[in-house]
Structure 1
Amino acid sequence: MVKGAMVGTQETLDSAGVGMFAIADLVTAVDALMALERDSTACAAAMSRCRGAAHGDGDGMNLVAAIHADLDCADMAGVAHRVLSRGPAADITVIRAVLEAAAAAADRCVVECGRSPHAHCQVHTESARRAAGSARALLGGLPA
């Protein structure tokens, strides 16, 4: 790698060892969860600047519930991508729990933000769908 070049997820996980997952699946999930953390935070911030019918009343959304869903999602996605990045000594019970929590939080955001026509909600909804799918793909590969 060139000195000063940005290190990507693939290089980071290769250097730490991946443990129980195929590297490609793990990279996909970690990248999706990092994007979800960012997009959830951005969507919550955008909604916090909305007033009345501009967001919430007119599009069938409960603004407070949607902001809470976004913040919960950002937290769960952040925890999940950090736990997944720790390498092969990670506890499978913890991995399962954080992946399930991240997928559940993402699903809630799909419902909350999926009703809104706003660009930030549309970006967030797609990010949440992608991350939930990646989390569930990893869950499907875990031993029972």
Structure 2
Amino acid sequence: MTAAERDQALDALHHCEKVSTSCAIAMTATGGMAAEVRLALDCADVCAAAHRVLARGEGGDAATLAGILDAAVRASDASAAACGAHADHHDHCRRHAESAAACSRAVTAVRTTL
């Protein structure tokens, strides 16, 4: 992976964590979106963990890094799909779906280079 790819993935993971958390809070206030809230919180937590592992740089266990990146892609994709279904009605869901999709793309780019 290049330094630019790594930095882009780190930025996307950090942004997705923040937007996922904000969306979960907004959905809680809206009510009736328990499954989406859970997916958003899972996404935020997995992205935070992936960010920490990726930020450590070279020298770690490659399988651990691959696993956490794969989990971040899965969590981001699931959350983007769930919130994408509400994007027309809730701006926080639109922002979250966009952020999660961008995160998935950036992390996939890094993951394919491992």
Structure 2-normalised TM-score? Answer: 0.95
1:120 shift after superposition: 0.3
2:16 paired residue number: 36
CA RMSD of aligned residues (A): 0.9
2:105 paired residue among 123, 133, 138 = 133
1:80 corresponding residue in structure 2 = 50
Residue 97 of structure 1, aligned match among 60, 64, 67: 67
Amino acid across the alignment from 1:88: E
> Structure 1, unaligned stretches of length 5 or more?
1-20, 57-62
SS in 1 for 2:30: coil
Pairing 1:15-26 to 2, within 5 Å after superposition: 21-26=1-6
- Looking at structure 1, the residues matched to 2 and 92 of structure 2 have their Cα atoms a distance apart, in angstroms, of 32
Equivalent position SS for 1:49 = helix
Tell me the matched-pair count: 112
Per chain length, whose mean CA-contact separation is higher, i.e. which structure has more relative contact order (CA < 8 Å, sep 6+)? 2
Q: Deviations over 1:108-127 (max 9, x none)?
A: 11111001121000000000
* Superposed displacement of residue 67, structure 1: 0.2
**For residue 12 of structure 1, what is the aligned residue in structure 2?**
none
Which residue in 2 is equivalent to 1:106?
76
TM-score between the two structures when normalised by the length of structure 1: 0.76
Which runs of at least 4 in structure 1 moved beyond 3 Å after TM superposition? none
The one-letter code sitting in structure 1 at the alignment partner of 2:5 is: D
> Residue 35 of structure 1: CA displacement?
0.2
Letter in 2 for 1:133: R
1:70-112: per-residue Cα shift (whole Å, max 9, x none)?
0000000000011000021121101100000000000111111
Between the aligned partners of 2:81 and 2:103, the Cα distance in structure 1 is 14
- Residues 49-81 of structure 1 deviation map (CA, whole Å, 9 limit, x = unaligned): 014xxxx5xxxxxx1110000000000000001
The CA distance in 2 between the partners of 1:110 and 1:82, in whole Å, is: 22
Q: Please list every run of 5 or more consecutive structure 2 residues that lacks an aligned counterpart in the other structure.
A: none
